[in-house]
Amino acid sequence: MRVKLIAHTPEPEKLVAAAAKNCYSSTDVDSVLEGLTEEKTARFVQMLSEIGHESPIEHVSFTFAIEGVSRSLLAQITRHRMASFSVQSQRYVREHGFEYVVPPAIDKLPEAREQFIRAMEDDQRTYEALTAALMEGYLEELRAQGIPDAQARGQAEKRAIEDARYVLPNACTTRIVMTANARSLANFFRLRCCERAQWEIRALAEEMYRLVYAVAPTLFGRCGPACVDGPCTEGKMCCGKAAAVRAHYQQLRAQK
């Protein structure tokens, strides 16, 4: 898994403070911005967090490049509708020797790992065989329509991989560009940094949190799973590890 913060709103905390202060100020925007020193900005953002005034944090956004994650993770992360996603297409990108994610529980058992890798290799062979068979069929049709050979081959391959991709596994890796505002990210961290989240998306959420915390520590200072800044919200499904989770996030924030 590789995660990079490739863009974000400049001076995100100052913008959040200005947006919030604008709600209560009779002066113009320029005057609001001029009065926001670093200390005042931090104090204002902290106050917003304490009183639960969350709408101003929607004005700042963060964009991530995410690579080496599985299609299984993709199915989970796109459920977070208050974000924008651009995903590598299996319709247009042929999966030559596709990479895949091996779950840790499988990876640590030699026999299970062997079976898993064998399944991936079988999927690759099936994918290539289907692509080849479909290409031949489409190529014949396109040539019969009088389409030049080079153009026909390009069209045939595109159609072939569009259908052959159905045999590719959830483990197959993909690449995502994701943009979300700070409020949506806070919700994402609350749900996906939790110990009950699936291991892969939890690892991604933690890395994303580490990256945005380095940019805006006051804005994201109370973020993470619910138990980091209050009681667990999982009820009877609670993992019972709140103290360890809090210690983990203290360590994570100290790495800034």
For the annotated catalytic residues, the residue numbers are 192
Phi-psi region of 68 (alpha: psi -120 to 50; beta: other; left: phi over 0): left
Number of neighbouring beta carbons within 10 Å of residue 35: 14
Residue 217, number of CB atoms within 10 A of its CB = 14
Could you count the other beta carbons within 10 Å of the beta carbon of residue 168?
A: 19
Burial 39-66 (b: 16+ CB within 10 A, else e): eebbebbbebbeeeeeebbebbbbbbeb
